[in-house]
Each structure stands twice: as structure tokens, then as C-alpha cells.
Amino acid sequence: MVKKLQNKLILVVIILLVIAPFFIFLESDLDRKVIPASFLLGERTGFDLTPGELTFGRIEINQSAARDITISNNFNKPIKISIESSGEISKNLIVSENNFQLIPSESRNITFSIQTRGLTEFKEYSGEVTIISRKI
């Protein structure tokens, strides 16, 4: 009786070990882009259009700035796009659209805005924006 139970338990473990990677693969990201993001809170407005980064330059207190990024589906299947932010910048970052789908060859412009309302310390606020492409 004990031997039979041990055999069943071993069989269940083996099945889980075989099936688990399949489910992990189904949930895996197709692509993940991490983009440095920053702005300076200051007395005068200034621009910073550094390529490859989401920089907003110098923004005055109680003002805002925006940058657009075009996101494209270069895969041959529909995908879901998720946008996440981290670091100090995330509290003040507004994304025009999130958790949306793109069909193959479709592109969409997404606006990233910074609102400085409530900030008083003149300094650089930084973080990262992560754009994740997943299978649907």
C-alpha cells in the first residue's frame, strides 16, 4: 500500500516537472525593453531629447512635459503590451495608454507625461520605464 502511494507521488512529481516548463513558456515575455527615464525639477524649463532614453529635461514646479514613443508589433502574431515604471519618476509619470493589444505590423504612439505638482525639491528624479510584449 505504501509502495503504491510512493509510486503515485513520484509519477505526479515527474508529470509536474514535464508540464511546468510548458506553462512557463506560454507566459514568457516575447520582448522586454527597459528605458532609463528622468527629469530635473528646476526654476527654468529646459529640453533634453537624448535618444534611447525617456528624458523630459528641466520642468518647473506645477508644470508638465510630455514625450511620445511609438510601439510596434514586429511579430507575426497579435501581442499584448504592458508598460511599467519604477523609481522616483513613477509617482509623477502618466502613460496615455497601457495594457493594449497590437496586431502584426500595427504601431501605436504612446504619450508619457510628467506632472510636477506636489514636488518642491530641485533635483533630478529618475527611474525606468519597462515596455513588455507578451503573447496573447
pTM of structure: 0.78
Q: What are phi and psi of 18, to 5 degrees?
A: -80, -40
Q: Compute the distance between CA of residue 7 and CA of residue 16 in angstroms, rounded to an integer.
A: 14
Query: Residue 8: what pLDDT?
Result: 73
The answer to the question of residue 107 being in a domain is yes
Please list the pLDDT of the chain residue by residue as tens digits (136 residues).
667 777 777 777 777 677 666 555 555 789 999 999 999 999 888 777 677 899 999 999 999 999 999 999 999 999 999 999 999 999 999 999 999 999 999 999 999 999 999 999 999 999 999 999 999 8
Residue ranges making up the domain that contains 46: 30-135
Split into its structural domains, the chain has a count of: 1
Query: Residue 68: what pLDDT?
Result: 94
CATH of the domain at 105: 2.60.40
Q: Compute the distance between CA of residue 26 and CA of residue 44 in angstroms, rounded to an integer.
A: 49
The answer to the question of residue 66 being in a domain is yes
Cell of 2: 505504501
Cα distances from 36 to residues 13, 31, 82, 85, in angstroms, run: 42, 17, 16, 10
The answer to the question of residue 101 being in a domain is yes
The answer to the question of residue 128 being in a domain is yes
Closest Cα partner for 39 from 131, 129, 123?
123
The answer to the question of residue 20 being in a domain is no
